[in-house]
Structure 1
């Protein structure tokens, strides 16, 4: 059976390097490349045989860990392997908390990247992956639908319902319905509290 692997990274040369690693591990796989979060989400939604996503956190359209959350919402059963230059002791744990199966820095050697890809395709977490359960709020954020995440990210960006409705091609009533669902899932009373919760989880970390 053919399988598709999505490489989401805004640097063409690094996408090429990851494609090489993929070809070494899964030579028959079809590789799709995406340079923005929007194109990655579209590709993930349209690929019926998607087996793995490799993701850079610092992509156009991504805010903090929102790329993981959005792609995980699009394809919850598809493993996401983060390969990023993002720094900080907590970044790997946070990436896994939002749905990634593993985290590698971009300066990892080709062998380590290939091993991580092989492990993810085999249905196991790469070496060093966290196994402890994430806290309830992170689980709820990770469980938001793609549209709910887009609405929440727009709220973080300071947009009003009218602007969000225009950007996402929906009515203001639909935006309000999504916000109601988001607030219920996050157990908050208003959009300001929802934004504070999202910020506390790193969804608006500076790129």
Structure 2
């Protein structure tokens, strides 16, 4: 049985660069590519021998760290290596908190990328950090850590619904986009609100925003 690596990035030239690094780091691997978060999620769900996902945070359909959360929910046993141009100070720690096994900046040189790929291929993904160091700190940090863990533990469909709510879409629009009934959307929203321990969709959106899920990276 061979192994397959999914390269998720919206820039074709950078996908080529990653494929080149992968050819050296794991020459036996088959590469599949995705240019949007939706196509990456489909590929992750439909590829049985998937061994690694490399992910750019800033892709069409992704906001903040939502791509990690969604792909981790689709394939919780597949390691995710974030390769991103995000330069905020906490990006690497936040990426790991949502389920990534590593974080690499896009300006890394080819040997660094190759080494990171080899390391990631040998890693078993841990569960997203539901507590983190903040759970032992002040109440605000503990709350953020709890909500982050809850969001990271949502199902793929629940995450898609929550992201649509963050985008300001109504239930009717969400139902059309996701190919389900409005009643199903409402059922998912009820489950999301229960998990987040909030009373309405506005509070659910605010909880997600507190984690940087809608920050431009």
| Superposition TM-score tier, normalisation by shorter sequence | over 0.9
Listed one character per residue, the Cα deviations across residues 158-207 of structure 1 (whole Å, up to 9, x for unaligned) are: 11111111111111110011011111111111111100010010110125
Q: Does 1:96 align with 2:79?
A: no
> What is the aligned partner in structure 2 of residue 58 from structure 1?
58
In structure 2, relative to structure 1, the CA distance for the partners of 1:78 and 1:147 (3 Å cut) is same
Match of residue 189, structure 1, among 199, 207, 211: 199
Alpha-carbon distance in 2 for matches of 1:45, 1:132: 24
Q: Does 1:31 align with 2:41?
A: no
> What is the aligned partner in structure 2 of residue 161 from structure 1?
171
Gaps of 5+ in 1: 126-130
Alpha-carbon distance in 2 for matches of 1:109, 1:161: 45
Listed one character per residue, the Cα deviations across residues 96-128 of structure 1 (whole Å, up to 9, x for unaligned) are: 111111111000111111111111111268xxx
Q: Does 1:20 align with 2:30?
A: no
Alpha-carbon distance in 1 for matches of 2:116, 2:208: 29
Gaps of 5+ in 2: 133-144
In structure 2, relative to structure 1, the CA distance for the partners of 1:75 and 1:132 (3 Å cut) is closer
CA deviation after TM superposition for structure 1 residue 133, in Å: 4.9
Count of residues in Structure 1 that have an aligned counterpart in Structure 2: 203
CA deviation after TM superposition for structure 1 residue 136, in Å: 2.2
> What is the aligned partner in structure 1 of residue 160 from structure 2?
150
Matches within 5 A, 1:112-131: 112-123=112-123
SS in structure 1 opposite 2:81?
strand
Q: Does 1:172 align with 2:158?
A: no
> So what's the TM-score if we normalise by structure 1?
0.93
SS in structure 2 opposite 1:53?
strand
Conserved in 1, the CA contact under 8 Å of 2:78 and 2:124? no
Listed one character per residue, the Cα deviations across residues 41-70 of structure 1 (whole Å, up to 9, x for unaligned) are: 111110000010000011111111111111
Alpha-carbon distance in 1 for matches of 2:178, 2:99: 24
In structure 2, relative to structure 1, the CA distance for the partners of 1:189 and 1:89 (3 Å cut) is same
C-alpha root-mean-square deviation of aligned residues, in Å? 1.7
Alpha-carbon distance in 2 for matches of 1:149, 1:74: 10
